[in-house]
C-alpha cells in the first residue's frame, strides 16, 4: 500500500514560549521539504536573537518555582507525558517519515526510544539523590546534594527528529532545570507535534520552550548570559564550534559530533544474522544514523563467507517513500545530500575501489532525494571514504588478515562513536572490547546504541565534553553538586578546628 501525503496542510510553524504558542514575528520563513517527494510540507521560521531572548527570559523566571516542585511531582509530570506521547506515537512516527524520510517501522522504533528516555527520567527521585557521611571529624557530618544547573538549551540534528531532543529534555526538567530546545530547521515538525503534548501537561509557564531557527539561534545560545548549559548533537565541525563557544562563555557543555563506525567480521561470524545486522546498520535510515556501520572490516575468510551474501541481500532492498510498506530504504534528507553522497561513491571508484552494488540510480520519484544502498569492496585503508563521514547508504569494505589489523583500522579513525564485532569467539571479543578506542561497542549487534538507562558514550571527535547523553551521565550533567559540612554545638560537637580534630 502506498500512502501519500495528501491532506497534510502546509502550515507555518510557531515557537512555544512561556507556556504558549507564539508566532516568530518578523522571522524569515524557510520551506520544510518532504525528501521523498520534494514537496513543501510546512514553513519554518528562522527566529532571531529577540525570540530567543523571550524564551530564555521565561525560562529564568520559571526556574525558582520549578526547582522547588518536589522531585516526585516532577516525575509525575513525566509519567503523564509518557502516556500522552504513547497515545500519539503513530502520528509522531508518520511526521518523522514525512520530514526526515526514514521508513515507518524505523520511525516507530525511534519514537519508542524517545518514550524510553521519558521512562528513564521518571526515576529521578532515586537517581538525583546525593550522598552523606557522618563523622568526617568529631561531631561533623558531610553531605553532597544535587541541585539543578539552571537554564539548559539543546540543539538537535536532522536525523532523529523525535529521539535526540529527548536525550536531554526529560532529564533536564526532571532535575529541576528549565529548558529551551532548538530543533533542526530541516525537521521542525516532529517537535511541534510533541510540544502539543507538552503543552497539555500544564507545566508552569517557561519550564520548556521551543525556538525554531538555524545558525543564528545556535550562536545566540552560545553567547546568551541567561543560559547555563548546552547540549548539542550534530556534525563534528559544528560540535567543535559549540564546544569552543560554550567554553568561551563559561557554560557547561556536551557536544556530540559526527561518526564513522566499523563493523568487524571475523572468520567465524554466523553468516545470516551477521548480514542482517550489517544491512540494518549500513542502510537503515538510509545510512543517516550516527551509529551507522559504514566501514566493514573483514578478517581473512570472513570476507568470502559474508560479503557475497551481503551483496545478494542488498540487491533485494527496495528504495522508495518511507510511508510505503514495501520500502526498505527511504530517501536521504535532501537532493544536495544525495548529490554529495554520489560524489563520495564516484571518488572512491576513481581511487580504485570495486563498486559491487551501485545505488546511484534507484528510480523513484524524480523530485525525491533517492540514492540506493551501495557497496564498495577492496577499498584501501587510507582512502578518504574510510576516514570521513559520508552519512548515506554507502558501505566501504576493507580486507585485512588478522584481528590485530582490524583493530588498527578501527583505531586509525579520528572518530570513536560506535563499532561492532561479529564472531562467536569470546577471546576475540575480549581482546576487541579491551583494545578498541571507541565508546560504544556491539557484539553481534549492528546498531549498538545504548538504551536510555546507559550513557550514549562516543569518544574522540564523536564527542566533546565529559558527561554523555542519557543514562546516569544525564543526571550528572543536569545537576551541580553542593557539599555541606556541618556540626551542632548543642549536640556535643567541639568548637575547635574541624581540620585538626579528627
Instruction: Please give the residues from 167 up to 206 whose contact with ligand NAD meets the rule CB under 6 A.
Output: 182, 184-185
SS (HEC) of 72-102: HHHHHHHHHHHHHHHHCHHHHHHHHHHHHCC
- Site membership for ligand NAD, residue 462 (CB under 6 A): yes
Residue 189, all three cell numbers: 515538525
Task: Give the binding-site size for ligand NAD (rule: CB under 6 A).
Answer: 29
Residue with smaller CB distance to ligand NAD, 255 or 306: 255
Q: In whole angstroms, how close is the CB of 410 to ligand NAD at the nearest point?
A: 17
Instruction: Please give the residues from 385 up to 414 whose contact with ligand NAD meets the rule CB under 6 A.
Output: 389, 391
Among the listed residues 123, 241, 317, 429, the single contact to ligand NAD using CB under 6 A: 241
Among the listed residues 35, 139, 150, 157, the single contact to ligand NAD using CB under 6 A: 157
- Site membership for ligand NAD, residue 422 (CB under 6 A): no
Q: In whole angstroms, how close is the CB of 460 to ligand NAD at the nearest point?
A: 11
Among the listed residues 43, 71, 235, 249, the single contact to ligand NAD using CB under 6 A: 235
Residue with smaller CB distance to ligand NAD, 77 or 470: 470
**Interface map 247-276 toward ligand NAD (x if CB under 6 A):** ---------xxxx-----------------
Among the listed residues 159, 190, 191, 457, the single contact to ligand NAD using CB under 6 A: 159
User: For residues 26, 54, 92 and 97, what is the CA-based torsion angle, rounded to 10 degrees?
Assistant: 50
Q: In whole angstroms, how close is the CB of 234 to ligand NAD at the nearest point?
A: 3
Residue 58, all three cell numbers: 521565561
Are 425 and 444 spatial neighbours (Cβ–Cβ below 8 Å)? no
- Site membership for ligand NAD, residue 35 (CB under 6 A): no
Q: Give the residue among 370, 408, 132 at the shortest CA–CA distance from 264.
A: 408
Is 21 exposed, middle or buried, given 0-12, 13-18 or 19+ CB atoms closer than 10 A? middle
Please give the Cα distance from 188 to 30 (Å, whole number): 11
Catalytic positions are 290
The interface region with ligand NAD, picked from 199-207, 211-219, 472-480, 493-501 by CB under 6 A, is: 211-219
Please give the Cα distance from 44 to 235 (Å, whole number): 21
Instruction: Quote the longest CA-to-CA distance of the chain.
Output: 83
Are 449 and 439 spatial neighbours (Cβ–Cβ below 8 Å)? no
Please give the Cα distance from 208 to 195 (Å, whole number): 9
Q: In whole angstroms, how close is the CB of 145 to ligand NAD at the nearest point?
A: 30
Residue 258, all three cell numbers: 559526527
- Site membership for ligand NAD, residue 318 (CB under 6 A): no
In this structure, what are the phi and psi dihedrals at residue 434, rounded to the nearest 5 degrees? -75, -40
The interface region with ligand NAD, picked from 157-165, 269-277, 347-355, 433-441 by CB under 6 A, is: 157-165
The interface region with ligand NAD, picked from 91-99, 144-152, 235-243, 313-321 by CB under 6 A, is: 235-243
- Site membership for ligand NAD, residue 444 (CB under 6 A): no
DSSP annotation of 232? E
Residue 433, all three cell numbers: 572490547
Q: Which helix (H) or strand (E) holds 349?
A: helix 335-350
Among the listed residues 58, 98, 124, 218, the single contact to ligand NAD using CB under 6 A: 218
Please give the Cα distance from 109 to 115 (Å, whole number): 10
Residue with smaller CB distance to ligand NAD, 195 or 498: 195
Q: In whole angstroms, how close is the CB of 64 to ligand NAD at the nearest point?
A: 29
Are 2 and 322 spatial neighbours (Cβ–Cβ below 8 Å)? no
Please give the Cα distance from 167 to 157 (Å, whole number): 12
- Site membership for ligand NAD, residue 285 (CB under 6 A): no
The interface region with ligand NAD, picked from 111-119, 150-158, 301-309, 472-480 by CB under 6 A, is: 150-158
Is 411 exposed, middle or buried, given 0-12, 13-18 or 19+ CB atoms closer than 10 A? middle
Q: In whole angstroms, how close is the CB of 291 to ligand NAD at the nearest point?
A: 8
Q: In whole angstroms, how close is the CB of 184 to ligand NAD at the nearest point?
A: 4
Residue 383, all three cell numbers: 582512502
- Site membership for ligand NAD, residue 155 (CB under 6 A): yes
Task: Give whole-number Cα distances, 454 to 18, 124, 345, 401, 461, in Å.
Answer: 32, 15, 35, 34, 20
Please give the Cα distance from 360 to 350 (Å, whole number): 15
Q: In whole angstroms, how close is the CB of 404 to ligand NAD at the nearest point?
A: 27
- Site membership for ligand NAD, residue 110 (CB under 6 A): no
Q: Which helix (H) or strand (E) holds 280?
A: helix 271-283
Residue nearest to ligand NAD (CB): 234
Chain residues that interact with ligand NAD, rule: CB under 6 A: 155-160, 164, 182, 184-185, 214-215, 218, 233-235, 238, 241, 256-259, 290, 389, 391, 417, 456, 458, 462
Amino acid at each position: 500500500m502506498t500512502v501519500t501525503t495528501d491532506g497534510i496542510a502546509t502550515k507555518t510553524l510557531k515557537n512555544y514560549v512561556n507556556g504558549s504558542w507564539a508566532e516568530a514575528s518578523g522571522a524569515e520563513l524557510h520551506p520544510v521539504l518532504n525528501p521523498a517527494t520534494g514537496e513543501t510540507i510546512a514553513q519554518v521560521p528562522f527566529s532571531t536573537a529577540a525570540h530567543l531572548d523571550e524564551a530564555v527570559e521565561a525560562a529564568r523566571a520559571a526556574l525558582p518555582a520549578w526547582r522547588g516542585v518536589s522531585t516526585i511531582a516532577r516525575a509525575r509530570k513525566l509519567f503523564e507525558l509518557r502516556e500522552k506521547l504513547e497515545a500519539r506515537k503513530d502520528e509522531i512516527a508518520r511526521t518523522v517519515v514525512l520530514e526526515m524520510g526514514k521508513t515507518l517501522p524505523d520511525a516507530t522504533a525511534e519514537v519508542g526510544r524517545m518514550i524510553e528516555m521519558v521512562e528513564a527520567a521518571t526515576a529521578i527521585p532515586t537517581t538525583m539523590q546525593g550522598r552523606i557521611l557522618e563523622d568526617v571529624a568529631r561531631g561533623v557530618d558531610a553531605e553532597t546534594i544535587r541541585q539543578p544547573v539552571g537554564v539548559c538549551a539543546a540543539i538537535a540534528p536532522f536525523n532523529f527528529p523525535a529521539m535526540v531532543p529527548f536525550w536531554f529534555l526529560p532529564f533536564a526538567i526532571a532535575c529541576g532545570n528549565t529548558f529551551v530546545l532548538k530543533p533542526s530547521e530541516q525537521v521542525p515538525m516532529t517537535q511541534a507535534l510533541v510540544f502539543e503534548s507538552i503543552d497539555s501537561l500544564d507545566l508552569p509557564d517557561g519550564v520548556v520552550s521551543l525556538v525554531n531557527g538555524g545558525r543564528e539561534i545556535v550562536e545566540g545560545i552560545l553567547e546568551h548570559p541567561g543560559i547555563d548549559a548546552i547540549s548539542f548533537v550534530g556534525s563534528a565541525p559544528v560540535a567543535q564550534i559549540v564546544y569552543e563557544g560554550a567554553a568561551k562563555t563559561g557554560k557547561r557543555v556536551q557536544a556530540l559530533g559526527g561518526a564513522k563506525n566499523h563493523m568487524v567480521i571475523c572468520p567465524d561470524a554466523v553468516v545470516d544474522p551477521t548480514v542482517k545486522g550489517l544491512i540494518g546498520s549500513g542502510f537503515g535510515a538510509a545510512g543517516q544514523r550516527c551509529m551507522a556501520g559504514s566501514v566493514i572490516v573483514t578478517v581473512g575468510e570472513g570476507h568470502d563467507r559474508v560479503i557475497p551474501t551481503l551483496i545478494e541481500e542488498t540487491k533485494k532492498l527496495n528504495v522508495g517513500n518511507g510511508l510505503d510498506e514495501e520500502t526498505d530504504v527511504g530517501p536521504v534528507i535532501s537532493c544536495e545530500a544525495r548529490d554529495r553522497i554520489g560524489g563520495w561513491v564516484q571518488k572512491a571508484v576513481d581511487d580504485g575501489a570495486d563498486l559491487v552494488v551501485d545505488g546511484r540510480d534507484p528510480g523513484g520519484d524524480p523530485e525525491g532525494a533517492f540514492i540506493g544502498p551501495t557497496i564498495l569492496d577492496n577499498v584501501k585503508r587510507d582512502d578518504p571514504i574510510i576516514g570521513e563521514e559520508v552519512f548515506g547508504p554507502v558501505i566501504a569494505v576493507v580486507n585485512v588478515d588478522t584481528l590485530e589489523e582490524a583493530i588498527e583500522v578501527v583505531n586509525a579513525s579520528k572518530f570513536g562513536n560506535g563499532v561492532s564485532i561479529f564472531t562467536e569467539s569470546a577471546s576475540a571479543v575480549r581482546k576487541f572490547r579491551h583494545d578498541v578506542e571507541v565508546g560504544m561497542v556491539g557484539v553481534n549487534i549492528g546498531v549498538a546504541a545504548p538504551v536510555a538507562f546507559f550513557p550514549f558514550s562516543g569518544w574522540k571527535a564523536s564527542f566533546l565534553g565529559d558527561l554523555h547523553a542519557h543514562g546516569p551521565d544525564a543526571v550528572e550533567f543536569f545537576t551541580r553538586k553542593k557539599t555541606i559540612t556541618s556540626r551542632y554545638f548543642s549536640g556535643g560537637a567541639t568548637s575547635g578546628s574541624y581540620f585538626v580534630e579528627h
